[in-house]
Amino acid sequence: MRENGITVERTRKFKATTDSDHTFNIAPNLLDRDFSATGPNRKWASDISYIWTREGWLYLAVILDLHSRRVIGWAVSRRMKRDLAIRALKMATAFRARSKGCVHHTDRGSQYCS
């Protein structure tokens, strides 16, 4: 970005999207900020972001394999509900064989904990 003179221009205030104030069970943090992986399908990381489009806000859930750093599952929706996270996970498991002991790391938002 620096080489091409591209800069970020914020036009809106930051919008918090993680709802950690819920009563769902929260799994322990097995990743503990260790984002390296010794092989594929050992560690997956997931998050939800929002994107402004001509049609309004859209929410994007993405799952990355931390070994290859490739997107292995994603889903888009107008609403940020648990179905969004589930559809991304279904895509990831359809493209990648599930391996025993694979860690799927997410934030503690209600979409993932529900």
Q: Tell me the percentage of the chain whose pLDDT exceeds 70.
A: 77
Q: Partners of 57 in the beta sheet? A: 52
State both tokens at 69: 């750093």
Least confident of 10-14, 34-38, 57-61, 74-78: 10-14
Q: Partners of 65 in the beta sheet? A: 44, 70
Going by pLDDT thresholds of 50, 70 and 90, the confidence category of residue 74 is very high
Question: For the sheet containing 70-77, what is the strand order?
Answer: 70-77, 56-65, 43-53, 103-105
- Residue pair 51/86 in contact (Cβ under 8 Å)? The answer is no
- Check residue 19 and give its pLDDT: 52
Which residue did the predictor score with more confidence, 37 or 71?
71
Taking the C-alpha atoms of residue 81 and residue 87, their distance in angstroms, rounded to an integer, is 11
Q: Tell me the percentage of the chain whose pLDDT exceeds 90.
A: 24
Which residue did the predictor score with more confidence, 24 or 65?
65
Global pTM?
A: 0.69
**Could you state, in order of their start, the residue ranges of all structural domains in the chain?**
46-113
Mean pLDDT of the chain: 80
Which residue did the predictor score with more confidence, 111 or 55?
55
Report the candidate in 74, 79, 43, 70 with the shortest Cα–Cα distance to residue 61: 74
Q: Partners of 52 in the beta sheet? A: 57
Report the candidate in 48, 25, 43, 18 with the shortest Cα–Cα distance to residue 109: 18
pLDDT exceeds 70 at position 58: yes
**Locate tokens 């996270």: which residue?**
85
- Check residue 70 and give its pLDDT: 93
